[in-house]
Amino acid sequence: MKLRNIFIFGLVVILILAFAGIGLAKDKVKVIMVTDTAGLGDKSFNDSVWAGIEKAKKDLGIEAKVIESREMADYVPNLTGAIKDGANIVVGVGFLMIDAMAEVAPKYPDTKFIFIDAAVDSPNVAGCIFNEQEIGFLSGAFMGMMTKTGIVGWVGGMFIPPVERFEVGVRAGLLAVNSLYNTDVDIKIGYVGSFEDVPKAKSMTLTQMGQGADIVFAGGGTNTLGIFEAAKEKGEGFYAIGVDQDQDYIQPGSILTSAMKRVDVAVYKLIEDYIKGEFKGGIHSMGLEGDFLSLSPMNYTKHLVPYHVFGVLEALREAVVKGKITLPTTRDELKEFNAPISLVF
């Protein structure tokens, strides 16, 4: 009789633990993304962040949701709304959200935040700061080696620190190539003033191409679509450089390469850290090392690139990763930059 009672008791315990396990399995980690004003569908920055979250949903079993911002005034209510909706992790996108993040995050210390492109002084915020100057450097060197006219272009969105780092990196890459090949490639610089004005971006690109630029770097947001349209409209011999994602497929053959900023990889990693109990606030610096930044595989244009160009790019990449080249991050630092090519070749 006693053995029977012990058996029944054990069975009850097992069933209780099993049902408890089912309950725990249903208690998923909830991740809510708050976009910048470009929103989903930009085929660039926001879409890349969302791709990382979607991968985490598939691989890690999280619950995922997105709240789109139409204007900067939406940032505070959207971040707050994500918290009230039960988010364990709120992913905020874009440097322009910095004031809103600094206002909201400290009020909710039990919620974790992943902040793309900026950091704030709050221990529950993991700020992803990318070394855009590094992939900008490779892009600029690539443009300098590929131009036929000796003139290239840059059409940026807004002049904010992450975009400045991109621009300065591109210009440093051109200086390196000019030093290496004793050339004098020039660059036209323009800014749209937002990340969502496709017609203006296209017009500025056509203007730069009319001034001799045969390759134009697309500096972010939905603006990139206008820049790609301009390159396609100009036809053979004119190209754009994509950004953030591998955008080469958008206008196959018109986009020479894309400067990939792997925000998808960064977001996925930090969500995984949270699930493992290893989430850390503070600044997370991400660059060429670890493949958080890279050029696209050039699936549509690789045949256009001389073999030696890839060798130069790899040598420059290795020099940056190993610290042989210290890149400028601001226009002021660029004035003092001398490409130490002798350290590389």
CATH, residue 180 = 3.40.50.2300
Residue 72 · residue 36 · CB < 8 Å: no
Residue 180 · residue 172 · CB < 8 Å: no
Give the pLDDT confidence score for residue 21 in this predicted structure: 42
Low-confidence ranges of the chain (pLDDT < 50): 1, 3, 10-26
* Secondary structure, 3-state, the chain: CHHHHHHHHHHHHHHHHHHHHHHHHHCCCEEEEECCCCCCCCCCHHHHHHHHHHHHHHHHCCEEEEECCCCHHHHHHHHHHHHHCCCCEEEEECHHHHHHHHHHHHHCCCCEEEEECCCCCCCCEEEEEECHHHHHHHHHHHHHHHCCCCEEEEEECCCCHHHHHHHHHHHHHHHHHHHHHCCCCEEEEEECCCCCCHHHHHHHHHHHHHCCCCEEEEECCCHHHHHHHHHHHHCCCCEEEEEECCCCCCCCCCEEEEEEECHHHHHHHHHHHHHCCCCCCEEEEECCCCCCEEECCCCCCHHHCCHHHHHHHHHHHHHHHCCCCCCCCCHHHHHCCCCCHHHCC
Give the pLDDT confidence score for residue 20 in this predicted structure: 44
Give the pLDDT confidence score for residue 31 in this predicted structure: 98
Q: Do 125 and 231 belong together in one domain?
A: no
Position 23 in a domain: no
- Domains contained in the chain, number: 2
Residue 334 · residue 171 · CB < 8 Å: yes
Q: How far apart are the C-alpha atoms of 270 and 116, rounded to whole Å? A: 11
Q: Do 88 and 187 belong together in one domain?
A: no
Give the pLDDT confidence score for residue 344 in this predicted structure: 66
Q: Do 171 and 320 belong together in one domain?
A: yes
What the block records as the tokens of 74 is 């939406």
Position 77 in a domain: yes
pTM beyond 0.75: yes
Q: Structural domain of residue 269, as residue ranges?
A: 28-130+264-286
Q: Do 170 and 227 belong together in one domain?
A: yes
Residue 48 · residue 261 · CB < 8 Å: yes
Position 299 in a domain: no
Q: Do 115 and 146 belong together in one domain?
A: no
